[in-house]
Amino acid sequence: MINRWLVFITCMLVGGGLGSLVGLRTGLALGLALGSFIWLVFDSFWLAHLLRWLRVEQSNETPGVMISPMPKLPGVWGEVADRTRRLLKNRDHQWLEGQARLDEFLAAIQASPSGVVLLDAQGRIEWCNQTASEHFGFDAQRDVMQHIANLVRDPAFKSYVALNDFSGDVSIPGSASTPARPVKLSVHLHSYGKNRKLLLSRDITAVELAEAMRRDFVANVSHEIRTPLTVLSGFIETLQTLTLKDADRVRYLALMAQQSQRMQTLVNDLLTLSRLEGSPFPHISDWATTSALLAQCEQEARALSALLAPHGQKIEFESGPACEIAGVQAELYSAMSNLVNNAVRYTPEGGSVHVSWSLLADGHGQFKVRDSGPGIAPEHLPRLTERFYRIDRSRSRETGGTGLGLAIVKHVAQRHGAELLIESQPGQGSCFSITFPAARVRLIQAA
Ligand code: ADP
């Protein structure tokens, strides 16, 4: 500031000195006026320079970058320019830091498995993450400032908003929901700030499906147990109230034994399933020999065939190369015998069942059961491994089926890294195969 005064005074002195050379009084006065005028011209020139630079910088929309170089100005204007530049730099730095924090925060919300939508006081979308866009079919750019009620038109959501009670959530179908592939969303609104709302959405399709499956499962088990129980209690009542001939009593007791056996088989299958679901995956260090497994299956199949098809079925076993499979012997036997017994049970008398074990060219091991039974229509194939899914209910029950056999096979296959394949056509028999990965199969070297 002192410099400014010094320059001003120097201008006056030089002007006044020169003027006094021309004429003592008027010359001095004119010289002083000229000196101050020259100072004012220079001063205004530098100020204009500074203002022009500030105007240019003000129009700059890229923080952190200056579009024009700072003017080199003398004296106080130079200091003003320098201090302004530093202020601008500090402000830009803070803005960039704030922006980076906001970006990180938004990236974290983007990564959230839940849909997040920020609504203003009027219920218009201010921002939404990618998951919310997928849940509701929003376009994150185009739908900004659109009213949420115009985009989410589900009646349940509308009445949820209208009620203005956001203590709980509401379930609505997702935008990608179709009758074949329903998608269920749980939507919850939370108030925050000045009448703003945070909308959270969660895909609950899998949870709902699991809940529906649990309900179906309980209903199925109850139904399966109720039938033999009703028969049993009927016979018990008859035995208690009537005096029966020995032959009738023996017949009734045999029927009762059959029903209790049915319940026992069902409970055993249920326990097997729950063990399969609850236990850790089998270790690769336990090995089961294929010849022993097939021999056990053959024995059981022949006994079952003698019982169900007294006039005969052609049953063939081809044990193939002697191998070992890494896994739990009991589980492997359960899976294999389920497939073999199904073939025997569903193939009519005179039909054939062919069971084989083979090593494929790529080292995979394959257990295959082919029968000449009724075959299966294509629409049933994807659902066969569901618990209690049966095509021929009466045949299944007559032959002691529980509807859980193929579910057990699928679980065992999964636990051993194997693949269950079902090929069948109505009237052309069926072929069920379990293909084990090469890493789980080894040849037994002859001694
Ligand atoms: P189930 O105890 O009823 O046999 P599974 O889970 O073993 O239950 O089989 C499911 C259904 O698949 C059976 O009810 C039957 O309708 C059908 N199925 C299974 N194996 C065969 C087969 N070899 N031939 C024809 N249908 C079969």
All structural domains of the chain: 2-105 (no CATH), 113-203 (3.30.450.20), 210-279 (1.10.287.130), 281-447 (3.30.565.10)
For tokens 């199925």, name the residue. Answer: 220
Please report, for residues 13, 23, 297, 299, 349, the alpha-carbon distance to residue 33 in angstroms, rounded to integers and kept in the order given: 10, 14, 122, 128, 131
End-to-end Cα, the chain, rounded Å: 107
- The pLDDT, as a whole number, for residue 5 is 85
Span from the CA of 335 to the centroid of ligand 1 (angstroms): 13
Q: What is the rounded CA–CA span in Å between residue 328 and residue 417?
A: 12
**pLDDT band at residue 69 using 50, 70 and 90 as cut-offs:** confident
411 lines ligand 1 (CB under 6 A): no
Can you say how many angstroms the Cα of residue 78 is from the centroid of all Cα atoms in its chain? 62
Residue 283 has pLDDT above 90, yes or no: no
Q: Identify the CA nearest to 115 among candidates 210, 199, 208.
A: 199
Q: What is the rounded CA–CA span in Å between residue 295 and residue 154?
A: 60
Length of the chain (residues): 447
Q: What is the rounded CA–CA span in Å between residue 89 and residue 64?
A: 7
- The pLDDT, as a whole number, for residue 379 is 94
Cβ neighbours of residue 52 closer than 8 Å, sequence gap 6 or more: 71
Q: Identify the CA nearest to 151 among candidates 190, 115, 97, 108.
A: 115
Residue to substitute in 272, 337, 345, 346 for testing ligand 1 pocket (most ligand atoms within 8 angstroms of CB): 346
pTM of the model: 0.68
User: Residue 65 CB: number of other CB atoms within 10 A?
Assistant: 8
Would you put residue 325 in left (φ > 0), alpha (ψ -120 to 50) or beta?
Answer: beta
The CA-based dihedral angle spanning residues 163, 166, 167, 168, taken in that order and rounded to the nearest 10 degrees: 90
The ligand 1 atom at the shortest distance from the C-alpha of residue 375 is 25
**pLDDT band at residue 309 using 50, 70 and 90 as cut-offs:** confident
431 lines ligand 1 (CB under 6 A): no
How is residue 147 annotated by DSSP? B
343 lines ligand 1 (CB under 6 A): yes
342 lines ligand 1 (CB under 6 A): yes
Q: What is the mean pLDDT of residues 391-412?
A: 89
- The pLDDT, as a whole number, for residue 424 is 96
**pLDDT band at residue 284 using 50, 70 and 90 as cut-offs:** confident
35 lines ligand 1 (CB under 6 A): no
The ligand 1 atom at the shortest distance from the C-alpha of residue 408 is 6
Residue 214 has pLDDT above 80, yes or no: yes
- The pLDDT, as a whole number, for residue 22 is 80
Span from the CA of 170 to the centroid of ligand 1 (angstroms): 40
DSSP state letters, 317-363: EE--S-EEEES-HHHHHHHHHHHHHHHHHHSPTT-EEEEEEEE-TTS
351 lines ligand 1 (CB under 6 A): no
The ligand 1 atom at the shortest distance from the C-alpha of residue 404 is 6
Q: What is the mean pLDDT of residues 240-267?
A: 92
Residue 447 has pLDDT above 70, yes or no: no
Span 171-211, pLDDT tens digits: 999 999 999 899 999 999 999 998 899 999 999 999 999 99
Span from the CA of 65 to the centroid of ligand 1 (angstroms): 73
Range 121-130, long-range pairs (CB < 8 A, 24+ positions): 121/194, 121/195, 121/196, 122/147, 123/147, 123/148, 123/149, 123/161, 123/197, 124/148, 125/151
Q: What is the rounded CA–CA span in Å between residue 261 and residue 336?
A: 22
Span from the CA of 33 to the centroid of ligand 1 (angstroms): 115
290 lines ligand 1 (CB under 6 A): no
Span 43-68, pLDDT tens digits: 899 899 889 888 888 887 777 676 77
- Strand-pair category, 365-371 with 314-318: unpaired
Q: What is the mean pLDDT of residues 129-149?
A: 92
Residue to substitute in 385, 396, 402 for testing ligand 1 pocket (most ligand atoms within 8 angstroms of CB): 396
Span from the CA of 406 to the centroid of ligand 1 (angstroms): 7
Q: Identify the CA nearest to 342 among candidates 255, 405, 389, 424.
A: 405
Q: What is the mean pLDDT of residues 156-180?
A: 92
> Which phi and psi angles does 329 have, rounded to 5°?
-50, -50
The ligand 1 atom at the shortest distance from the C-alpha of residue 392 is 16
Span from the CA of 403 to the centroid of ligand 1 (angstroms): 7
Contact between residue 440 and residue 325 where contact means Cβ atoms under 8 Å apart: yes
Span from the CA of 289 to the centroid of ligand 1 (angstroms): 26
Q: What is the mean pLDDT of residues 342-352?
A: 95
Span from the CA of 55 to the centroid of ligand 1 (angstroms): 83
Contact between residue 353 and residue 316 where contact means Cβ atoms under 8 Å apart: yes
Q: What is the mean pLDDT of the chain?
A: 91
Q: What is the rounded CA–CA span in Å between residue 364 and residue 320?
A: 13
- The pLDDT, as a whole number, for residue 78 is 86
Cβ neighbours of residue 406 closer than 8 Å, sequence gap 6 or more: 338, 342, 384, 385, 389, 420
Span from the CA of 333 to the centroid of ligand 1 (angstroms): 17
Can you say how many angstroms the Cα of residue 43 is from the centroid of all Cα atoms in its chain? 70
Contact between residue 357 and residue 320 where contact means Cβ atoms under 8 Å apart: yes
Q: What is the mean pLDDT of residues 232-246?
A: 92
- The pLDDT, as a whole number, for residue 75 is 82
Question: Is 11 exposed, middle or buried (CB count within 10 Å of its CB: 0-12, 13-18, 19+)?
Answer: buried
Q: Identify the CA nearest to 131 among candidates 185, 177, 179.
A: 185
Span from the CA of 437 to the centroid of ligand 1 (angstroms): 25
Extended strands (E) in 193-302: 196-203, 287-289
340 lines ligand 1 (CB under 6 A): no
Span from the CA of 392 to the centroid of ligand 1 (angstroms): 8
Least confident of 162-166, 182-186, 203-207, 426-430: 162-166
For tokens 């319940």, name the residue. Answer: 263
- The pLDDT, as a whole number, for residue 58 is 80
